[in-house]
Structure formats: C-alpha cells, structure tokens
C-alpha cells in the first residue's frame, strides 16, 4: 500500500501551481515570432456576449508544442459593430486605444447562415469604392451588414473592418500560452471520438 501512496504524492508534488485562462479578440498575429496580441474580454463570464474592451492589449507567445494550438488566428481590429445605434469600435494600434466611428447602415440582413450564397466563399470585409461602403459578415450574430463611414475612415485597410478571431488560452506564465484554442475556428459541436 505504501507504493501507490508514494506515487500519488510524487505526482502531486510535480504538478506545481495551477494555471489560469484568458481570452480575447486577436488584433495582431506575427507567426514568425509566435506572438499573438489581443484585446481581452471584460465580459468573459458570459461567452455569448463578449466585450473586447480591456486595455492595454495583451501579447502572448504561442505554445512551444504546436499540438497544443488550434488553427492559426486571423487578426482584425473591428471590436464591436452596433448597427442599431450606428456605431463601430475599432482598435487603433498606433495610439493603442479604441476609436468609436459613426456608421450609416445601408442594409442589414439578419439570420444569414455561413452557408448562404451571399456570404459563402466571400472574403470579408468587402469595400465598394464606388459607393463608399463596407460590407461585413458577423458569423456570431448571423448578420450581413453594409455601411458607410465618414470620409476620414474610408482609406483604412481591410483589417480595420475585420473582426479578429477570438482565442482562449491556458497559462502559468502570462506571456506564454501552454494551450491555445481558436474559438472562432473551432466547431465545439463536433466532439472527438
């Protein structure tokens, strides 16, 4: 009986402190350096209604073991899009701050699935320079929204109007992920067998 107790105690002694979890929306990804920068979610206890609004942004290194990381994330700076109130919130990396932009909604379609012909195989956002509009698809809310922005925002790159992937990671050292999941690109309804 002493051997199993000794093995259990030895195993517990080697575990060390438990880690923590953090999550947010990716605003920059440097695969060559293995660095992800994201805006943390202040409403993490309600995963259905995230609020990516915590500054400063967090930079974390991806796991050393590639098997501990899901699909590589796509970065984007669109943190919120409120079509009902005509506003968008984007991250400004130069100022390391948020900017609220007044938008004018041209069209809004709710209940648009990812397999709908209007969004399938289309790379969003879509800029229509002749009309001065931007069209985005919000997969989380199933919304296809076309809007215009004031003149000073029309020259921003596509990444300003793209929502970055949402990630969740486990760590002991806040600067290094031990495990990282791309929540946006992971189908949680398909369990592993």
We report the CATH number of the domain holding residue 41 as 2.40.50.320
Structural domain includes residue 13:
no
Structural domain includes residue 129:
yes
Residues 103 and 151 in one domain: yes
| 1 vs 51, residue with greater confidence | 51
Residues 142 and 131 in one domain: yes
* Average pLDDT rounded to a whole number, residues 141-161: 94
Q: Is the pLDDT of residue 1 over 70?
A: no
Structural domain includes residue 60:
yes
Q: Among all chains, which residue has been given the structure tokens 């791309």?
A: 182
Give the model confidence (pLDDT) of 62-83 as tens digits: 999 999 999 999 999 999 999 9
Residues 54 and 114 in one domain: no
Domain of residue 140 covers 78-161
Provide the domain count of the chain. 2
Three-state SS string over the chain comes to CHHHHHHHHHHHHHHCCCCEEEEEEEEEEECCCCEEEEEEECCCCCCCCCCEEEEEEEEEECCCCHHHECCCCCCCEEEEEECCCCEEEEEECCCCEEEEEECEEEEEEECCCCCCCCCCCCCCCEEECCCCEEEEEECCCCEEEEEECCHHHCCCCHHHHCECCEEEEEECCCCECCEEEECCCCCCCCCCC
Residues 114 and 46 in one domain: no
Structural domain includes residue 193:
no
**What pLDDT sits at residue 35?**
98
Of the candidates 87, 92, 97, 93, the residue with the CA atom closest to the CA atom of residue 149 = 87
Structural domain includes residue 48:
yes
Residues 115 and 171 in one domain: no
Mean pLDDT, the chain, integer? 89
Q: Is the pLDDT of residue 14 over 50?
A: no
Structural domain includes residue 67:
yes
Structural domain includes residue 59:
yes
Residues 121 and 173 in one domain: no
Residues 23 and 82 in one domain: no
Residues 153 and 169 in one domain: no
Residues 42 and 112 in one domain: no
**What pLDDT sits at residue 15?**
53
Q: Is the pLDDT of residue 131 over 90?
A: no
**What pLDDT sits at residue 3?**
42
Q: Is the pLDDT of residue 148 over 60?
A: yes
Structural domain includes residue 148:
yes
């Amino acid at each position: 009986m002493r051997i199993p107790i000794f093995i259990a105690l030895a195993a517990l002694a080697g575990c060390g402190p438990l880690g923590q979890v953090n999550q947010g929306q990716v605003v920059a990804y440097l695969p060559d350096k293995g660095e992800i920068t994201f805006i943390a979610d202040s409403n993490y206890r309600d995963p259905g209604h995230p609020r990516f609004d915590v500054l400063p942004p967090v930079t974390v290194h991806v796991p050393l073991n590639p098997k501990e990381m899901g699909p590589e994330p796509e970065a984007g700076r669109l943190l919120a899009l409120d079509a009902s109130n005509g506003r968008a919130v984007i991250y400004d990396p130069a100022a390391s701050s948020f900017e609220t932009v007044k938008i004018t909604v041209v069209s809004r379609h709710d209940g648009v699935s990812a397999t709908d012909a209007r969004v399938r195989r289309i790379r969003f956002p879509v800029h229509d320079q002749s009309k001065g509009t931007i069209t985005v698809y919000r997969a989380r809310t199933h919304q296809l929204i076309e809007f215009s922005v004031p003149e000073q925002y029309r020259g921003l790159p596509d990444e300003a109007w793209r929502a970055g992937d949402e990630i969740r990671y486990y760590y002991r050292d806040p600067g290094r992920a031990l495990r990282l999941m791309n929540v946006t690109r992971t189908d949680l309804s398909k369990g592993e067998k």
